[in-house]
Structures are given as C-alpha cells and as structure tokens.
Amino acid sequence: MRLQNFTSQSVQSQIQLQAFFNQSADLFCIIEPDGTFGQVNSAWQTLLNWTPEALRSRPWIEWVHPLDVDASLEVLGNRDISSNFRYFNNRYRHQDGTYRWLSWSWCYGEDGWGYAVGRDITAQKQTEAILRQTQERYELVAEASNDGLWDWNLNTDRIYYSPRWKKTLGFEDDQISDRATEWFYRIHPDDRGRATVAFQDYIQGLTPTFELEHRLLHNDGTYRWILSRGACLSTADGQPWRMIGSNQDITECKQANSTLRLTQERLQYLLSHSPAVLYSCKVLGNYSMTFMSENAAAIIGYHASEFLADDGLWTSRIHPNDAPRIFANLPKLFESGHHVHEYRFQHKNGQYRWMHDELKLIRDEAGEPLEIVGFGIDITEQKLSEIILQQQTKALQDTHQRLRFHVENSPLAVVEWDREFRVQSWSKQAEKIFGWKAHEVMGKQSTDWRFIEDEDIELVKCNMSRLLDGSASSIVYQNRNVTKNGSVVYCQWYESILLDEFGNLVSILSLVQDITEQKETEAALVNNAELLRVLNEELVQSNRDLEQFAYVASHDLQEPLRTINSYTQLLARKYQGSLDAKADKYIKYIVEGTTRMQQLINDLLEFSRVGRNGKPLQPTACDGVISQVLDHLKIAIAQNNAVVTYESLPTVMGDRTQLIQLFQNLIGNGIKFRGEKPPQVHISATHQGNEWVFTVRDNGIGIESEYFDRIFTIFQRLCSRYEYSGNGIGLAICKKIVERHGGHIWVDSELGVGTSFHFTIPCV
Ligand code: ADP
C-alpha cells in the first residue's frame, strides 16, 4: 500500500514536472553527452519554431550563431560538475534562419547529461543595442561638439560632470567631485547673480530654455567664458527633479567677437573719420561708384548715397582742364594695377578742391578686371601751401639776391663769424676797409692776425661774450682796427646774432662802418667849438665895449653939441637980419644940423641903454602892458581915428618897462605908417611849443619883402622924415628888447595891404 502510495505519488510529481517543463515560456532541454538533444519542451516550438524531431536530428551547438560558437563551447567545454551552473548568452537560430538572443543557465549531471534553460533576451539585447548606440551617438556628438555634459539631480544636489566638462576647466576626471558647489563656486563673482536669476527664471517657467553665458574659473586661475544650456525633467506632478545640459567653452568665440567688434569699430571710425574718402567703382563706363565712405559728405560735400545713385557724378565734377588728362591716363591702371592722379573736383558748394587719388585694380581669379578700389585725399591746403611756398621761395631768392647786391655794394662792410669767431664771410667792402682779401682771412679767428688795436681787445672780448651768453642780442660799439698796411681805422661795429628756429646760434653778423673821417671831423668840431666859444666871449666883450663906447661917446658928445647949438641959436637971435641972406641961411642949417645931431645922439643913448639898464625879468601880464601903451598913445589914436584891439594876452617873464617900449613902438608904427583908411591895429598871442608868438597886425602901407631884414637895423628907414617922422631907431630897439627876453622878431607884409610884426617870448 505504502509502495502503491509511493508509486502513485511519484507518477503524480512526474506529471507535474512534465507539465511545468512543457508549459514554461523558457527553453528547457536535456542534452545528451554527445551534445544532441535528449528532451526539449514545447517552448522550442513556440519560440524557435523547431519541432522536437528536427532538434534531435542535430547537436545543440549546430544552431548556435557561428560567431558565438567558440565562446559557448568554452563555457560548456569543461564538464566538471563541481563548477555546477554556467551562465552565458548566445544567438540561436530560428527555424526561419534568423537568430534570437538566448540567455543560458546550464549544468551538467553526474551522468554527463546537460540540463539547460534558455531565456529569450532578444528584446532586451535590442534595447541594449539601441541604448548603446544612443550612448555612443551621444558621446560622439558630445566629443565632436567639444561640449561638457552635466546631469544634475535636484533632489540630491549631485551633478554628473562629464570628463569633457572637467577638461574644459583644466581638471582630470578624478579632480572634481559630483557636488553642485564645484560649479557654483567657480562662477565669476560678477556673473553669480545673473546665473542665479537665469536658473530660477527657467525653473519657474519664465524662460522656455535655460541658457546662460558666464565665466568659470579654470584650473590655471584664469576665467573661461562658458555657454550653459540645459533642460529640466519633472515628476508627474510637475516637480523638477533633474536637469541635464551641456557646457560649451566660448572663450575664444567671445574673444573673437570682441576682436571683431573692435575691428568693426576701428573700421567704422577710420571710414568715417579718415581724411581720405574710400571708394570702389566699376571698371567700365563712367566708373560709377559701388561703395563710398560716409566721410565723403564732409570732404567733398556729396553724400555717399548721391554717388551711388548718380553714375556720372564723379566724372562730371572733375575740372574741365583736368578731365582730359585724368581720362587719358586712367588706362595705365589696367596695365600696372596701380595708379595715382591729382585733379580738381567740384565740391557741392561749387568750389573746386584739389584731390589726390590712389587707385588699385582688383582682378577676379581668371585675371579679368573686377573692380577699382581707391582713396582720395583733399590736398587743397597742401597745394595752396605749395604755391605759397613757391612764391616764398621765389621771394626769398629775390631777397637773397638783393641782399647779396646790397652786401656787395653797401658802404658798410659785412662780416660773419662762427661761435669761435672764425670768419665765415668777408664782403668786398670789408676788403676795401681793412685791406685783407676774403681768402686771406676766411676761417681765421680775429686774434690770428693783428686786426684789433691792442688797447681795444678787452672791449671787443667783453662785447662778444655778452652776445654769446645771451645777455645781449645786438651790440653797437666803436673800436680801432688795424688794416693790412698797418694803418689804424676807426670802425663802428653793429653786431647781432643769427639764430636758427630752435634758438641755436648760426653766426654772428657784423656790419662795419669806417668812421675814421667822422672821428676826424668830430675832433675838428671839438676844436671849432672851442674857437667859437672864445670868439663869442670876445664878441660879448666887444659888444659891451661898443655899448660903453656908444654911451660915453653920445654922453660926452652932448656937451660940446649943446654948446654949439646954444651959441648958434644966440648968434641967430642977435644977428638975424643984420648979416646978409646967405649968412642967415647958413646959421639956420647949423641950428637944424645940431638939433638933429642931438636927436640922433639921444636915440643912440636910448639904444645903448636897452642892454645896460635893463631890469631883472619877472612875471608880467601883457594885458596890463597894452593898457599902459594905449594910454600913452591916446592922442595919436584919437588924431588918426585909429582902432586898436587885442585878444586875451598871456603873462610872460619880462622887463615891464621894455615890454611897454616894445609894444608902443610896434603899435605906434602901425598907426603912423597908415594908408588911406583909418588905422586898425590888432594884437594877439598864440602858444607854440614852449614859447608865445605875439603878432601886431595893421592895415597900413605895408613893406616890400626885400626890406624885411633891413628895417631892424639902427637908423634904417624906408621913407623920408618929411613924409613920416622918425629916426629909424624904433625897430632896432624892439629887436634888442626881444632878444634880451630870449626870443626873436620878424615881419611879414604886403604892400598896400598891411604889416604883421611877430616876436616870440619863452613861456613862463
Ligand atoms: P621909424 O619909425 O623911426 O622910422 P623904425 O625903426 O620904427 O623907425 O622903422 C624903420 C622903418 O621901417 C620905418 O621908417 C618904416 O619905413 C618901416 N616901418 C616900420 N613899421 C612899419 C609899419 N607898421 N608899416 C610900414 N612900414 C613900417
């Protein structure tokens, strides 16, 4: 019963095992020691479409993919049962010829039978292959793009940094941990705020992508510009938990950008501020412009766009006199590839400007002319300067020629010295004055030959050192020079220094005047002055003697004359009528003669008194003097119906008595020498320099000009005593009075019209 039970139990488990064997989705098989299939389950049919019969017809290994045979046999070759289970994968052939990936678990029994389970892992393998491919592509792309990759778990705050990420910052793979801080602390302090904002904006959905340019600290201490791009993975409820992205080193790009920007700025600046108009134009037709820099407007008035719009603008504005030459020579550009020309171009304001153009011909790869590029510079100022320079050079040459002529023909000798006082030039006149020829003294110092009189050497040295040390820029002095024949000449030296534009001494220029004759004349003059002084003293003495003589003579003559006169009058009274008529006439003549002689002697006495009896000069008001004179002359004025007028007259230093005498003589004469009309006399005074000029003008008979001097001589009269009374002493006294007061007297007059007497008296 027990056996029966046991047997039925064993059959039961056999059936269950068989069912498990057949119903499994995995491939079950038992392999005989010779490698052929013993048993297979139905999964073989389902999975590989092999019937058990087909399988049993060949060994297990024959359905293995040729490439996997060796590896499979290697695993299975050792049948040591102690090593128990072996696991391996291989590709196994489907009935349709394709292969399926199988994962095998295999063990050997003690009997040498193999027990194996194969699981289809084709799908897993395919997924793995796809994954691997994806990974490979990913790495290839990352490698190719040179980008560093990062994968940030926002929950753990750990980041996977790819080796490239680390290399970008100069680190080996093991030198940087997976901490987020590795990144954050490397951000340039100036970029941290921006980085935080960019991250937060992205996380909060304010920006569609995370993109940030920032600087990260490199291992070598420098900062690299990095472009970070990333995207977020979120949980089902929208919570971001992971962010993946790349870091791209854009330092060089940044530098290139900044270099580019700089280059562009430079170019822009140069194009707009260059003194040259830059352009390109076509090689045919009107050479119409294809480009022109913006500064054209500032230089030639036309805006660049006007050139581009008008084909003929350039050609039509060239000066008509220059155009034929310009267009005739332009083909040269096509021969040499380079051409320069200058011409006048009409500015928009109508005026012509001189332009200097340099052109270059651009050819295409085939060598055909493609375009002309060039630049034009406004050289009007330069041209004008050239013209002025030419004129100045010409003027300078003329001046130089004239100067040479003057130097050669000047009465002044011209000598030029260098700073060591060696002769640099020696004019013809210098040869004439000093006797030395130019070739005898050129290059020599003045002390190399006996040129300066010994006693004057110190003076010359002193003057020269003043010129050299700058304390004087020109000096005039006199010294004595020794000529070639040993004679001495007096010279006046006009020395001046010539400096170049930097203030350096070029030479010392001497103009030399031979003043020997002048010196001799001066000496003679000194002698003459002495002679004159002696003569003057003698003259003064002789005048004094003469006055003394005149006084004594007239005084002493009066006495005998008075005796003759009184006795003759006595004789006339007593014997009048008792002698004959002739005697009476003679007596009359004697009386008249002596009376006249007495008058003359009185006049002479009065004349001599002017010098001898004069009072000291003191301030005297001329108005008062005239009133006094008019009082003295009132009878004559009344008798002649004369009108005497005068302007306000000054106060002068004078002898009042003599001034009365002076004015009385002149006004009296004005009344006395009257014509038909009643006399009119006018007295005036004007201030001229440091003296007063008085004028006494009348409307009398006038004086012929030939007598203007004579009338001032003593006893000189122009008319007879019977016509006009007088002795001819009045004007002589006037002259003497005026001269005593330091002035002089003269007359101008017109016959029949009137006379003006002028005299001067120094101002007070
Ligand atoms: P006198 O008046 O005594 O002749 P003066 O010496 O005063 O002597 O003058 C000299 C001469 O000059 C006069 O004789 C007269 O011929 C001339 N003369 C002087 N004053 C005048 C005058 N105002 N008009 C014309 N002739 C004059």
Q: What is the pLDDT of residues 690-745, one digit of tens each?
A: 999 999 999 999 999 999 999 998 888 888 777 888 888 899 999 999 999 999 99
Ligand 1 proximity of 711 Cβ (cutoff 6 Å) = yes
Output the CA 601–ligand 1 centroid distance in Å: 19
* CA 753 to ligand 1 centroid distance, Å: 15
Instruction: Tell whether ligand 1 has an atom less than 6 A from the beta carbon of residue 669.
Output: yes
- Give me ligand 1 centre to Cα 724, in Å: 9
CA distance 32 to 755: 184
Q: What percent of the chain has pLDDT over 90?
A: 57
pLDDT grade, residue 238 (50/70/90)?
Answer: confident
Count of all residues that appear for the chain in the document: 764
What pLDDT does 7 receive?
A: 60
Q: How far is the CA of 608 from the centre of ligand 1 (A)?
A: 20
State the pLDDT at residue 275.
Answer: 86
Closest ligand 1 atom, CA of 728?
8
Taking the centre of ligand 1 as the mean of its atom positions, its distance from the CA of residue 711, in whole angstroms, is 7
- Name the pLDDT band for 646 (thresholds 50, 70, 90): very high
Confidence (pTM): 0.39
- 662's CB contacts (< 8 A; 6+ apart) are 733, 734, 737, 738, 759
Smallest CA separation from ligand 1 atom 14, residue: 717
pLDDT at 374 > cutoff 70: yes
Higher confidence at residue 650 or residue 720? Answer: 650
Helix (H) or strand (E) holding 483: none
Kindly provide the residue ranges of all beta strands, DSSP E only, lying in 392-522, ordered along the sequence. Answer: 413-417, 423-426, 474-482, 488-499, 505-514
Q: Which of 706, 712, 710, 705 is nearest to 739 (CA)?
A: 712
Cα-based angle 736, 738, 740 (whole degrees, multiple of 5): 70
703 CB near ligand 1 (under 6 Å): yes
Average pLDDT of the residues of the chain: 89
Mean pLDDT over 624-651 rounds to 95
Q: How confident is the model at residue 6 (pLDDT cuts 50, 70, 90)?
A: low
Q: Which residues contact 35 (CB under 8 A, 6 or more apart)?
A: 59, 60, 61
d(CA 268, CA 290) in angstroms, rounded, equals 18
Task: Say whether pLDDT at 59 is over 70.
Answer: yes
Nearest protein CA to atom 8 of ligand 1, as residue: 728
Residue 545 has a pLDDT of 72
pLDDT band at 82 (very low <50, low <70, confident <90, very high): low
- Ligand 1 centre to CA of 727 (Å) is 9
Ligand 1: which of 666, 669, 725 to mutate, judged by most atoms within 8 Å of the beta carbon?
669
- Which residue has a Cα nearest atom 9 of ligand 1? 728
Q: What is the whole-number distance in angstroms between the Cα of residue 672 and the centre of ligand 1? A: 8
Binned at pLDDT 50, 70 and 90, residue 88 comes out as very high
- Per-residue pLDDT tens for 524-571? 999 888 888 888 888 877 777 777 777 777 777 778 888 888 888 888
Which pLDDT belongs to residue 449?
Answer: 80
d(CA 579, CA 245): 179
Q: Angle at CA 123, nearest 5°, toward 119 and 126?
A: 125
Q: What is the maximum alpha-carbon separation in the chain? A: 256
Task: Determine whether the shortest distance from the Cβ of 731 to ligand 1 is under 6 A.
Answer: yes
661 CB under 6 A from ligand 1?
no
| Candidate of 711, 723, 747 to mutate for ligand 1, largest count of ligand atoms within 8 Å of Cβ | 711
Distance in Å, CA 603 to ligand 1 centroid? 15
Give the position, in ligand 1's atom list, of the atom nearest the Cα of 732: 6
pLDDT of res. 409: 80
pLDDT of residue 200: 94
What pLDDT, on a 0 to 100 scale, did the predictor assign at position 83?
64
Euclidean distance between CA atoms 693 and 758, whole angstroms = 7
Mean pLDDT along residues 283-295 = 87
Closest approach atom of ligand 1 to CA 717: 14
673 lines ligand 1 (CB under 6 A): yes
pLDDT band (50, 70, 90) for residue 81: low
